[in-house]
Chains A and B, each alone.
Chain A
Amino acid sequence: MAFESVKETTESRIREVALGTGELKVGGENVLAFHLFEGEMPNRPLIAVEVYDYYPEEWSDAVKEPLADVLSDPVAWAKKAQDEWGADLIALRLKSTDPKGMDRSLEEAVETVKAVVDAVNIPVMIYGSEDVEKDGEVMKAVAAACEGKNVIIGPALEDNYKTIGAAAIGYNHTVAAKTPIDVNLAKQLNILLSNLGVDTEKILIDPTTGALGYGLEYTYSVMERLKIAALRQDDSMTQMPLIADVGTEVWKAKEAKTPASEEPLWGDEKKRGVIWEIVTATALLMAGADIVIMRHPDAIKAVRKVIDNMLS
């Protein structure tokens, strides 16, 4: 008799969330990541490519170099991501609105957002600077300006979920809800958002990402536990697709960004950060990430291949 592997199947599913106005959807799986022998993943995990709304001077040369031609132009950057790197969506970061930094105005922010959203035909997620107050205002303005486009706005935090949630409800957008690496807190914020009136099919969970060497294992276990709660315990308030915020976190790591001149023993600086990003993204895809936000084109290409292979 042939060997039959044990299958754990479930009636529960991750909610399928429609992104943008086209066909693209995320989530919908009824299995842990890539357990295709037990169920299905009707939508493939997506790669969102980071675009910053200002010239990121502080970035390491290893990642600035391949992006050099677009770094000072978010629109060109987004188009290149779409056309050349095969981005599934754009993750536009309005870092320049940070009141502790450049403190750009709402109008400027909205202008950038509009330009990017109009320039590409893939969905766009828009993240603020994670200043609780300012993000509330920025997202209100962004939500109004993008009416009808179903963008993802966020991150909605415990302290501004009302404003950002209300903006999403008002203009029919999707919300990314971000909590500090904890299963319970993630669930709590989803309850708060849905009590506010946000459709549970328009919420994504950003459980906070730690890069390799900087808490990856925590993010891994929180993501995995969220998926287990969603699928095995049928916990409705954790059945939202997961976002892994990889690019930004990886390129903060000193192992990724330190030039070879400072640490000759660490090896080729052009490969090091890329590998760091690939490893982090791949690990989190295995943990159950439905969207990975990434930065370096080489890493993006490699991770796309990983996803292809896992699904075939």
Chain B
Amino acid sequence: MDREKVRVCFYPENRCIEVDKGENLLRAAMKADVHINASCGGEGYCGKCRVIIEKGEVKQRLQVKLSQEEIKQGYTLACCSTVESDVDVRIPIESQIGDKGVLLRRPPIPLKGYTLSAKDWAERLPQWELNPPTAKFHLILDKPSLEDNISDAERIKRGLAKLADLKDVVIDYPMLSALPSMVRAASFDVTVTVLDRGMEQRAVRLEKGDTTPRQAAIAIDLGTTTVSAQLIDLQTGRVIAEASDYNGQISYGEDVITRIIYSTRSTGLAKLQSAAVNTIWNLIQQMVEKTGIEFCSITHLCISGNTTMIHLLLGLDPRYIRVDPYIPAATHFPWIKASNIGIRIASGVYLRCTPCVASYVGGDIVAGVLASGMFNSEKLTLYIDIGTNGEMVLGNKEWMLSCSCSAGPAFEGAGVKHGMRATRGAIEQVRINEVTKEPMIITIGNRRPIGICGSGLIDLLAELFLTGVIDERGKIDVDLDTPRTRVGESGSEYVLVWADESGTNRDIVITEADIDNLMRAKAAVYAGIQILLQEVGMKIEDVEEILIAGAFGRYLEIDKAIIIGLLPDVDTEKIKFVGNGSLLGSYLMALSKNLIKEADRIANMMTYLELSVNPRFMEQYVSALFLPHTHKEMFPTVLQRLEEARAAAGLGPLERGSELS
């Protein structure tokens, strides 16, 4: 149901915006691109975001930073207020910083970022149905007698055939060994869990009495940098808990290559395997504790990850992935017992890893393509996963071409001095004033900032560029008249948050080295897109839909991603978000065995393009290593925004004497 809308007008900017009733006032200002000083992420700590409510009603949290007198005069802290009716807000001079910049800022391009959700599945995923690969059957078996003297195992099979028309069920060996005592202890009133492995039905667990109402599964996105998990109630299909953490393997290397190298050391592979298993186990434990379900209600796991991650998890030797001609041990993986790799949840819990395409396009991409419904689409679609490896897929229901470019983990907040995952206290939105270069920040959870997450980094990079703090190469101008740019211990940097306003008591900065990492990441992604298009002789204009997956925060502002040249300058209507495609695909497969079959089909139909032997990739990469791009004419809207930003900052127009129209 749509929420009630209210109108917020900011003065002296005279800019109005419609927001949901109950929206935080500082966030409303961010949406309207109205600059209010905000340094503490919206915790109510810095006291800088004071505004005067001239008309209308806001709800306020306790505002210790304001005196009685001020409150009487109508002052409030924007970050501690929610909008309850149409309001007029005046931003007093001291909150505006800089007097001329404020009036000139361009009205924001409305965020058209549309995130795919359950309601899109009917259309995009007609194959979807709630029919998980494991099912529980409550059997009240006839007690054996001299007349009915078949074995315990046959008795179970007969029960399953009668109840669910299941033929030729195979009984798992561990279940067999427990069978005689168990059925008798349960007085022949048991629940059997049956796993549908595609070619075979296998009874994997026996429980006393009726446990059918309690059935859960786990979906996992096993990323190089981040691991995310969901606990799913198989009766309703709902996610009942979520958790995520950095991959414990990070201490052995940040990217897949260093991990592969590590795995070739004596006990390296075992160490990496157990690091992944531990990370997964901790997440499972957290979710189980949070929800209070029993471990034994979990019946299966669906895991998607890139090819190397899956090899390491399964203990398969990944060394040939790294060397020409880049051959993985396997791309399709059987259902295996979770306990075989050390995930000991309960007896008879099986796991399945999503099939991979090639060494550098893995099950995470297959899962994402599955979840996005791209494989059903008539439209020419570009699927981009912006993670540690930037992978992308171009195609539709007829054909798919994929490639991978090592973007590095910068957009996940790793490899960046004050980068972090998108969790509480992470700066997720940034504005910078053109004139004063002062920032306005909002954090996840409105906490004092402790770091910057992926979406915050993209926002920040775009704002630094628009306001002239960095140039086209990402070099910081330390000669600017602001204390925010300086030469720190690790080179030039921009201070986003001063120590006394941060949650870490340290300055939160972005360094030139961080910016380099971000630039490399965005250049790799953009170059990959260009190569895919070139390969099939198409242009970006031919693409009808662009689907973005990746572990960003809640916001990825599309226009900011275009400004930095991470995404092509296309009609923003074409761009949609999948969220964490790998996790979403895992979730869908955990619930629907049809989709498991579809995933196999997708993996088989995808063609893989190896970029490391493609001479044009380097060329494309170097030209993308510039803001927004060396061929800036491919980014007309960005050029226009730059002109406006430069005008607002009182700088001259771009490129004297050139043809720019």
Contacts and interface: CB of A to CB of B under 8 A. Distances in A.
Contact of A192 (B472, B623, B633, B652): B472
Contacts of B630: 184, 187-188, 191
Interface string A139-163: 0000000000000000000100000
Interface stretch (A170-178, A194-202, A247-255): A194-202
B471 A195 contact: yes
B654 A200 contact: no
A235 B660 CA distance: 11
Contact of A195 (B472, B623, B631): B472
A182 interface: yes
Interface string B510-533: 000000000000000000000000
A188 B472 contact: yes
Interface in B611-654: 619, 622-623, 625-626, 630-633, 652, 654
Interface in A6-65: none
A121 interface: no
Contacts of B654: 194-195
Interface in A184-214: 184-185, 187-188, 191-192, 194-195, 197-201
A185 B622 contact: yes
A208 to B, nearest CB: 14
Contacts of B656: 194, 197-200
B657 A182 contact: no
A82 interface: no
A72 interface: no
A201 B473 contact: no
A282 interface: no
Contacts of A237: 658
B659 interface: yes
A237 B472 CA distance: 14
A191 B622 contact: no
Most buried by B among A182, A187, A191, A235: A191
A236 B658 CA distance: 7
A188 B473 contact: yes
A191 B638 CA distance: 15
A200 B472 contact: no
B655 A195 contact: yes
Contacts of A194: 654-658
B522 to A, nearest CB: 15
B636 to A, nearest CB: 14
The bracket for how many chain A residues form the interface is: 10 to 19
A197 B658 CA distance: 11
A201 B472 contact: no
Most buried by A among B622, B652, B654, B656: B656
Contact of B471 (A182, A192, A200): A192
Interface string A74-103: 000000000000000000000000000000
Contacts, number: 49
A191 B632 CA distance: 9
B632 A201 contact: no
A184 B622 contact: yes
Interface in A221-257: 235-237
A185 B657 CA distance: 21
A112 to B, nearest CB: 31
A199 B652 CA distance: 13
A184 B623 contact: yes
A236 B631 CA distance: 10
Nearest to B655: A194
A1 B655 CA distance: 50
Interface in B581-632: 619, 622-623, 625-626, 630-632
A4 B338 CA distance: 76
Contacts of B652: 197
Interface string A287-299: 0000000000000
Contact of B658 (A185, A192, A200): A200
Contact of A200 (B619, B622, B623, B655): B655
A223 to B, nearest CB: 16
Contacts of B619: 183-184
B161 to A, nearest CB: 68
Nearest to A182: B622
A164 B350 CA distance: 67
Nearest to A198: B656
Contacts of B632: 191
Given A185-B622, A197-B652, A191 B472 contact: yes
Nearest to A196: B471
A221 to B, nearest CB: 12
B466 to A, nearest CB: 13
Interface in A256-296: none
Contacts of B658: 194, 200, 236-237
A62 to B, nearest CB: 38
A184 B629 CA distance: 10
B524 to A, nearest CB: 15
Most buried by A among B472, B630, B656: B630
A194 B656 CA distance: 7
Given A182-B622, A188-B630, A191-B632, A200 B657 contact: yes
A192 B473 contact: yes
A185 B618 CA distance: 12
Nearest to A15: B657
Contacts of B471: 192, 195
B623 A201 contact: no
Contacts of A185: 622
Given A158-B473, A195-B472, A188 B657 contact: no
Given A184-B619, A191-B472, A236-B659, 11 more contacts: A158-B473, A184-B625, A184-B626, A184-B630, A185-B622, A187-B623, A188-B630, A191-B626, A191-B655, A192-B473, A194-B656
Interface of B: 471-473, 619, 622-623, 625-626, 630-633, 652, 654-659
6 contacts: A187-B631, A188-B472, A192-B473, A199-B657, A200-B655, A235-B631
Q: Closest 6 CB pairs between A and B?
A: A184-B623, A184-B622, A194-B655, A184-B630, A200-B657, A199-B657
